[in-house]
Amino acid sequence: MNLPLRVCLAVALAAIAPVLRAAETTPPPHVFMVGDSTMANKPLDLPERGWGMLLPEFLREPGMVQNHAMNGRSTKSFIDEGRWDKVVAELKAGDFVIIQFGHNDEKDKDPKRYTDPATTFRDNLRRFVRDTRAKGATPILATPVCRRKFDANGKLVDTHGAWPDATRAVAAEEKVPLLELQHATAAWLQSVGNEPSRQFFMWIEPGKYPKIPDGRKDDTHFVEAGARHVAGLAAAEIRLNLPLARWLK
């Protein structure tokens, strides 16, 4: 005997209700951010912001972001100081790790931070990738964001040398999703132009902030508007082809 449609629907809904309830109560994954000062959290009483501070604005669950990026760190110093081990200890299956280095790996006069883009830098990135996957989490490599540096003709100058290409090479070799932040930030800054792009960086007038009474002219680190724009560029990259896209607003 055939049952009425409404009865069939009721039976079907009753069968899947536990699954739906479980999905609703399953906590979202964490997004661990591993990198340098351009990504890091900053004191709120100063205007500087890392783009990782603004990424939660683009996620459905802002509390997903666990920002472990730290000022002045390279892949080498991040590992040597035990910061990477701390991230690995907290990782759970289903989590994501966004990894962005290069600014400080380039400092060849500092043996505590410098890495060779052909060898040690790539080895460190491979370690991040493989340790992340061993915990059942997803690594995402990111090329470093651009510094604000223009030549006399108003063309943006690359300051990162071989490190972005090394990041791309490891991403291809390890079949890791790539956030192409170098190209994205280069296109953005070039479109804005030399003088107007100062508004996005730590170009601070003297006397505006008590903690930096002499002001600052810094073409590496962002103010809030710049960090928010970079976070938006990262979200746009994620939306294109990364598994984290389902968690974007």
Global model pTM greater than 0.85: yes
The pLDDT value given to residue 25: 60
The pLDDT value given to residue 112: 98
Average pLDDT over residues 201-205: 97
pLDDT at 3 over 70: no
pLDDT at 20 over 50: no
The pLDDT value given to residue 24: 47
Average pLDDT over residues 88-107: 98
What's the token pair of residue 65?
Answer: 């972001």
- Contact (Cβ atoms closer than 8 angstroms) between residue 197 and residue 145: no
Tokens 């709120």 sit at which residue?
44
Mean pLDDT taken over the chain = 92
Percent of the chain whose predicted confidence (pLDDT) is above 90: 88
The pLDDT value given to residue 230: 98
Percent of the chain whose predicted confidence (pLDDT) is above 70: 90
Strand partners, 222: 49, 201
> Which residues, at least 6 apart from 63, have a Cβ–Cβ distance to it below 8 Å?
28, 56
The CATH code of domain 27-247 reads 3.40.50.1110
SS (H, E, C) the chain: CCCCHHHHHHHHHHHHHHHHHHHHHCCCCCEEEEECCCCCCCCCCCCEECHHHHHHHHECCHHHEEECCCCCCCHHHHHHCCHHHHHHHHCCCCCEEEEECCCCCCCCCCCCCCCCCCCHHHHHHHHHHHHHHHCCCEEEEECCCCCCCECCCCCECCCCCCHHHHHHHHHHHHCCCEECHHHHHHHHHHHHCCCHHHHHEEEECCCCCCCCCCCEEEEEEEEHHHHHHHHHHHHHHHHHHCHHHHHEC
- Contact (Cβ atoms closer than 8 angstroms) between residue 107 and residue 114: yes
- Residue 210 Ramachandran class (φ > 0 left, ψ -120 to 50 alpha, else beta): alpha
The pLDDT value given to residue 4: 53
**Structural domain spans, the chain:** 27-247
The string of pLDDT tens digits covering residues 112-124 is 999 999 999 999 9
The string of pLDDT tens digits covering residues 21-75 is 434 467 899 999 999 999 999 999 999 999 999 999 999 999 999 999 999 999 9
The pLDDT value given to residue 1: 44
Range of weakest confidence among 128-137, 180-189, 206-215: 206-215
What long-range pairs does 104-108 form, CB within 8 A, spacing at least 24? 104/36, 104/72, 104/73, 104/74, 104/77, 105/74, 105/75, 105/76, 105/163, 106/160, 106/161, 106/163, 107/74
Average pLDDT over residues 76-80: 98
